[in-house]
């Protein structure tokens, strides 16, 4: 086999996940559902799950992200309900002090026997953060400067007995965190901007890029690898986040995509975009466009770059992106996290081997009772 990748699932601890349509399968944003999806992912052979952190839902008919379970709290419980799969949670740098997250994630590492990772996010949507008192009044790039300092404090707490730190944003004077994690938790980031990508390479282990198979995606993946090479970080990894719209046939998958777009929650998408427009340091167009294309009627229920096709044909499409962008891993997003995930895990991802890609998903063919949804 030429290439080995890790495979993960972006689990929907947020209502509606990442398909913002009134025609989408019901995804409640409950812990119970996230647990079912995580157990299914583990059973199918996935290497990790990642849960997002979100502080305010959109105000449209679908109420997407309106109900959420806290990503960090869920991680502890998910490790206790599983045996093998890695569980990565998310924290915003402007919401928590670094020492708080260092302690919580060190505890999660003990609880989960080292199967823990942390997705570091800077936020940037005014309406997601301001109402709860989390808006820091920083510009986009400055928030990444803060994130760098934030992560360096956390790394110190995880590796040094007594921490002294005099950074531009955070201080520590003889800080002690005990016990320190036996194995350093994985640090990941999904910045899409040049500053975000630099932060990922400088401060984290993995960069998540929103897959799309277009030239820009491949270029960005190569840039991340080049930055890592320049910094002598040969173990740095680049993963592609892929929204997959599957069907029994290519036509059925295309029909599902069209059905989802007919029900696009335009009010909710506009509400989400307006959160970026209200930023006190100027409209954060880049972050906004990574979530939804801007411009009224152009709002889409499904993120740009989704891979659409039959369970059979999807394997070659996923493999093409992995090979062209030289990805080290993939993160799956689907409309239906039980039936679609089960089919992809048993029928599509095992076929990556036909394209020279080794991936641990697909050792089974049926869903066990413990993961069947009611
Ligand atoms: C896989 C993935 C996971 C993300 N998780 C979160 C999250 O949980 N919370 C959040 O506020 N933003 C999240 N984001 C948004 C990114 O952290 C980032 O802000 C966005 O891609 C824009 O990039 P930029 O910050 O470099 O402008 C995620 C993005 C991706 C692609």
Pocket test for ligand 1, best of 88, 190, 206 (most atoms within 8 A of CB): 190
Number of the ligand 1 atom closest to the C-alpha atom of 189 = 17
pLDDT at 304: 85
Concatenated DSSP letters of 234-258: TT-EEEEEEEEEEESSHHHHHHHHH
Question: How far is CA 56 from its chain centroid?
Answer: 17
Going by alpha carbons, the residue nearest to atom 13 of ligand 1 is: 121
pLDDT at 369: 44
**115: closest CA among 154, 79, 169, 147?**
79
**51: closest CA among 13, 4, 3, 92?**
13
pLDDT at 293: 47
Enumerate residue ranges in the chain where pLDDT < 70: 1, 282-297, 363-374
pLDDT at 1: 66
Tell me if 190 CB under 6 Å of ligand 1. Answer: yes
Tell me if 287 CB under 6 Å of ligand 1. Answer: yes
Q: What is the domain partition of the chain in residue ranges?
A: 3-371
Residues 6+ apart with CB under 8 A from 123: 92, 93, 94, 95, 129, 134, 143
Tell me if 330 CB under 6 Å of ligand 1. Answer: no
Pocket test for ligand 1, best of 290, 304, 334 (most atoms within 8 A of CB): 290
CATH number of 3-371: 3.20.20.30
pLDDT at 55: 94
Please name the residue that has the structure tokens 């105000």: 59
pLDDT at 363: 61
pLDDT at 231: 97
- Helices 194-203/215-230 angle, 10° precision: 40
CA pair distance 239, 118, nearest whole angstrom: 15
Please name the residue that has the structure tokens 């960005």: 220
pLDDT at 297: 56
CA pair distance 11, 371, nearest whole angstrom: 14
């Amino acid at each position: 086999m030429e290439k080995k990748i890790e495979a993960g699932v972006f689990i929907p601890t947020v209502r509606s996940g990442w398909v913002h349509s009134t025609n989408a399968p019901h995804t409640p944003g409950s812990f119970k559902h996230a647990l079912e999806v995580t157990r299914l992912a583990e059973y199918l052979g996935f290497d990790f799950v990642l849960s997002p952190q979100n502080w305010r839902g959109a105000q449209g008919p679908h109420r997407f992200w309106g109900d959420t379970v806290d990503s960090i709290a869920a991680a502890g419980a998910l490790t206790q309900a599983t045996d093998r799969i890695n569980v990565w949670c998310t924290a915003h740098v402007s919401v928590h002090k670094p020492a708080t997250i260092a302690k919580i994630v060190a505890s999660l590492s003990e609880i989960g026997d080292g199967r823990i990772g942390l997705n570091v996010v800077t936020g940037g949507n005014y309406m997601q953060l301001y109402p709860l008192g989390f808006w820091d009044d920083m510009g986009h790039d400055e928030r990444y400067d803060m994130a760098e300092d934030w992560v360096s404090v956390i790394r110190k707490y995880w590796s040094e007995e007594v921490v002294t730190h005099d950074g531009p944003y955070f201080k520590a004077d003889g800080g002690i965190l005990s016990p320190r994690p036996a194995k350093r938790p994985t640090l990941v980031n999904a910045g899409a901007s040049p500053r975000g990508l630099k932060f990922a390479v400088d401060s984290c282990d993995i960069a998540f890029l929103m897959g799309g198979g277009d030239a820009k995606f491949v270029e960005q993946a190569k840039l991340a690898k080049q930055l890592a090479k320049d910094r002598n970080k040969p173990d740095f990894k680049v993963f592609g986040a892929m929204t997959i719209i599957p069907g029994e046939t290519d036509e059925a998958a295309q029909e599902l995509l069209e059905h989802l777009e007919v029900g696009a929650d335009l009010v909710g998408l506009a509400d989400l975009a307006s959160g970026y427009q209200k930023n006190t340091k100027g409209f954060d167009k880049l972050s906004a466009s990574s979530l939804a294309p801007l411009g009224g009627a152009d709002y889409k229920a499904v993120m740009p770059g989704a891979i659409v096709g039959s369970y059979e044909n999807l394997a070659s499409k996923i493999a093409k992106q992995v090979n062209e962008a030289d990805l080290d891993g993939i993160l799956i997003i689907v409309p239906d996290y039980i039936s679609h995930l089960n089919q992809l895990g048993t029928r599509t991802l095992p076929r990556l081997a036909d394209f020279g890609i080794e991936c641990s998903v697909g050792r089974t063919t049926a869903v066990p009772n413990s993961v069947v949804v009611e």
